[in-house]
Structure 1
């Protein structure tokens, strides 16, 4: 049924939420903005500058210039990258690695479709970058999710149609992006609640039963 599976990265292949949280909390504390788990939840699947705008809006901060925002977003990324230095292959769940290998063994192409500009760095840290047939990320897109661009570019790289591809997401914005792009989707976590999600996954390994 499917020729390819396109994975979001954070929250699907690996879990870097705690790193993002610590980095945004570091920035929020510096500018006197409120930041908590509720606000952090609104940032899932959202680009860096848009995430900063959400944080600023939540605290009613509206006086920052575009240059100041760009500086803060870059500072967040620098701190986040520092935290990623502690990431290692041991941080990859064995069920994820096993499922990726199984997909490859049955001839399914696999790709990353992530808004993160650090996707390749994370995959290198986990030592799985060579497993993927294509990587579409924040370095080659102009529009963040729920725009479907990151997924449509991944499908183009793979040489498959959206209708023949399955997107795996944990964020509501990601399922929305998949739906807008004409992709079926499999949802984990929050993504399972989206009305347009095609499959609700109880665990990562359920994918094999879907694509066979």
Structure 2
């Protein structure tokens, strides 16, 4: 039986990834007088702020010292939080509210396993803080996604083994991290990018707990 559900945030609970990339674009335009192509967003999705900045600097062919690196990351985060100011429960992605309610009805514990340091703030804006039993702190794990650390930490925060949990993701790096942790990976989004997931749904609106439970039991 499934005992825990480990959730990514951006693109799974709410589509905040668009705000991330808008903040990066504004930063790059200001400091490097450059633009970022749409297809670069996928490489910054689901990974830490620092890793995202490394991807962007690599694309730009730029190098900066550590002090500048940290200043750029902090400036981006400030801009991102400002963009989130109007975030409301109405911004929760389709199907997620019902899916969470179904998990809670089955006494399945919930933990957030997001690379975002702003996870607690976003849950609060979405009025979902009380729905989650734990929030893994990405600042306390050794390696970010695609390493499994954040999902292992999320399971541990629930006093569970990853093997007793499902992980829900929309990013390539995130699904890889779930698989490496030993949890059962459930992906939402573009199937061509997420074919390594154990189970796939085209969108959050189609998440179905009964289907997941059946696939989880077969896999175990």
TM-score, normalized by length of structure 1? 0.93
**Which structure 1 residue ranges, 4+ long, deviate > 4 Å from structure 2?**
none
Please tell me whether the aligned partners of residues 169 and 188 of structure 2 are also in contact (alpha carbons under 8 angstroms): yes
* Counterpart secondary structure, 1:193: coil
Q: Which whole-Å CA distance do the structure 1 matches of 2:46 and 2:149 have between them?
A: 13
Residue matched to 1:181: 181
Counterpart in the other structure of 2:217: none
The number of aligned residues is 211
| Change in CA separation of 1:193 and 1:53 when aligned onto 2, cut-off 3 Å | closer
Q: Distance between the aligned counterparts of 1:192 and 1:107, measured in 2?
A: 33
Q: Which moved more, 1:68-77 or 1:181-190?
A: 181-190
Contact 2:12 2:93 in 1 (8 A): no
Partner residue in 2 for 1:60: 61
Aligned to 1:27: 27
Matched, 1:109 2:109: yes
Superposed displacement of residue 54, structure 1: 0.9
Compared CA separation, residues 184 and 47, structure 1 to 2 (3 A): same
Could you say what the CA RMSD is over the residues aligned between the two structures, in angstroms?
1.6
Aligned equivalents of 2:35, 2:66: Cα separation in 1: 20
Q: Distance in 1 between matches of 2:17 and 2:131?
A: 23
8 Å contact kept, 1:34–1:58: no
TM-superposed CA distance for 1:194, in Å, is 3.6
Q: Is the 8 A contact 1:13 1:96 kept in 2?
A: yes
Which residue pairs with 2:96 in the alignment? 96
Contact preservation (8 Å) 1:169, 1:191: no
> Normalising to structure 2: TM-score of the pair?
0.90
Displacement after TM superposition at 1:192 (Å) = 6.2
Q: Please, which runs of 5 or more residues in structure 1 have no aligned partner?
A: none
